[in-house]
Structure 1
Amino acid sequence: MQLSGTAALVTGAASGLGAATAAHLASLGATVYGLDLPKAVESAPARPDGVTLLGADVTEEQPVRDALARIAADGRPLRLAVSCAGIAPSARVVGRRGAHDLELFRGVLNVNLVGTFNVMRLAAEAMSAQEPDEAGQRGLVVNTASIAAFEGQVGQIAYAASKAGVAGMTITAARDLAQYGIRVVTIAPGIVDTPMMAGFSEEVRSGLAATVTFPQRLARPEEYAKLVALIADHDYLNGETIRMDGALRMAAR
């Protein structure tokens, strides 16, 4: 699927994986619309050419519909939707303060799983109404899980559950949307050097890198962005969750 001359929607686009993906897709000729929380959009650094940041909460319907209406009004066909928005608080099922806070668990699932589903369903609806390309494709949805979906560590119960849900949606969504010529693929990153990691000491970062089989370093956000572009270019990738982790298998802690 060609990206040049098309529109792409990227969530969590003010920083980290989303920002890298938005910039890379724009460099390939796509007109990119990045969604993030309004406060994150306001404080985001200067955006590259071809990227428009819009304030929106991915867990709410109307802001996402408004963004899709903006894309439609600008006239380029929406061919790609990438969900990178997510949160990763840590808490054990039972910890020193008692049982895991139920609202915290709900909140993580709401952002990571419900937010991903919300963007996917609305973007796919918009794609389904478009004319297909010469290969019969109308679009591609790329969602973000995590290797925690498969090997969640201590304290990751909410995060692991939410990301396992994202991975679990993949094949069903691909089957549901096949009739419209829309593919669905999920990426499950390992340890990525995002702004969230910047708060850790160099000793901690080096220790994390040492757990990766090869290459023995943290992944770069740009590598995630390149994988999104590869999936777009590779029309036969569909219904799959792809680990991007340097062969890392997470230990319990």
Structure 2
Amino acid sequence: MNVQDKIVVVTGGLSGLGAATVKLMRSLGASIAVFDLQLPKSASSSAVELQGQKYFKVDVSKTEDVAAAVEGVVAWSKETKKPIAAVVCCAGFLGPAKILSKSGKPLLLETFKKVVDISLTGTVDVIRQIVPYMSTQPADPDGSRGVVITVSSAAAFDGQEGQVSYSAAKGALASLTLPLARDLSRWGIRAVCIAPGMFDTGMVEGMPDKARESLNKTLEFPARAGRPEEFAQMVKSVVENGMLNGTVIRLDGAARMPSRL
């Protein structure tokens, strides 16, 4: 699918993997709708258009925020006569905590729920609210009406200590990929999941130096963290390659996470 003169929705689009995706999709001629907890500093309302991009202040764990933003995107699509080509769900939350702490305290259920609400439920909510509109769009000559891209993690497969909540949410995103693709196939909408390993984003930058050094030792080739633009390149490949559907793509340079750092 070609995204030129079409709309691409990116959640978590102001930083990290989402920001890199926004930059690359814009260079391909797409109009971008960014969902994020924050807005550009120059924005003064919950939704603003700047330089051909629409920004919506959205907490994806709040369904009313998602509904308002999706309504705004649909209105923008109708106004500009640009269909929604892709939805890229990068919003997530790490929330590290062990099921039982060193002092014997159990994982707070509120912590677990926050991770799941943002990383899993929020992703599903964005998808379920936007695909009804995508399904009514005119199809491309090959019958395609768009693609939904979710973001899992290496933690879905190699979860470390303290990642019960995060691995549960990201593992669920990986698991729902095939049924999601099957549910949407009759409307010509694809579903693909990307599972990145360690990338140079805010989550990794916040690690202590000792933890980063230990994690670097687990890398194969290339022996470095991934660059956000490399994630964006994978998004581009997924969007453009119609045979990529119903699958989870590990983007981790063959690295496998150890049980602890």
1:245 paired with 2:252, answer yes
SS across alignment from 1:18? helix
Partner of 1:211: 218
Q: Secondary structure at the match of 2:39?
A: helix
Per the alignment, residue 164 of structure 1 pairs with 171
Confirm or deny: 8 A CA contact 1:189 1:243 kept in the other structure: yes
2:66 is paired with a residue whose SS is helix
User: Are residue 23 (structure 1) and residue 23 (structure 2) matched?
Assistant: yes
Using the alignment, how far apart are the partners of 1:141 and 1:80 within structure 2? 6
Q: Does 1:85 align with 2:91?
A: yes
How does the TM-score come out when normalised to structure 1?
0.93
2:145 counterpart of 1:126? no
CA–CA separation in structure 2 for the residues paired with 1:177 and 1:168: 15
Q: CA deviation at 1:44?
A: 9.1
2:39 aligns with one of 13, 38, 41: 41
Gaps of 5+ in 2: 44-48
Q: Using structure 2 for the length normalisation, give the TM-score.
A: 0.90
Residues paired across the two proteins, number: 250
The amino acid that maps onto 1:67 is A
Cα offsets for 1:86-119 (capped at 9, x unmatched) = 0101111111341111111111111111011001
For residues 247 and 41 of structure 2, what CA distance do their matches in structure 1 show? 35
1:4 maps to 4
Aligned equivalent of 2:232, options 204, 225, 247: 225
Provide closer, same or farther for how the CA distance between residues 53 and 184 of structure 1 changes in structure 2, counting only shifts above 3 A. Answer: same
What residue in structure 1 maps to residue 46 of structure 2?
none
Give the aligned CA root-mean-square deviation in angstroms. 1.9
Give the match's secondary structure for 1:41. Answer: coil
- Cα pair distance change 1:248/1:49, threshold 3 Å: farther
Partners in 1 of 2:229 and 2:149 — Cα distance? Answer: 15
The 1:102/1:43 distance shift into structure 2, 3 A limit, reads: farther
Unaligned runs of 5+ in 1: none
1:187 pairs, out of 194, 198, 201, with 194
Distance between the aligned counterparts of 2:110 and 2:214, measured in 1?
32
SS for the counterpart of 1:184 is strand
CA distance in 1, matches of 2:232, 2:214: 25
CA contact (8 A) 1:143 1:186 kept: yes
Deviation string for 1:200-240 (max 9, x for gaps)? 45554344223111000000111111100110110000000
Q: What is the identity percentage for the equivalent residue pairs of Structure 1 and Structure 2?
A: 39
Give distance in 2, aligned partners of 1:216 and 1:85: 26
Deviation at 1:80, TM superposition (A): 0.3
User: Is residue 83–residue 142 contact of structure 1 (8 Å, CA) maintained in 2?
Assistant: yes
C-alpha separation in 1, matches of 2:119 and 2:41: 22
One-letter identity of the residue aligned with 1:115: G
C-alpha deviation, 1:48, in angstroms? 8.5
Give yes or no for contact 1:13–1:53 (8 Å, CA) kept in 2. Answer: no
Corresponding residue of 1:66: 68
**In structure 2, what is the Cα distance between the partners aligned to 1:249 and 1:131?**
42
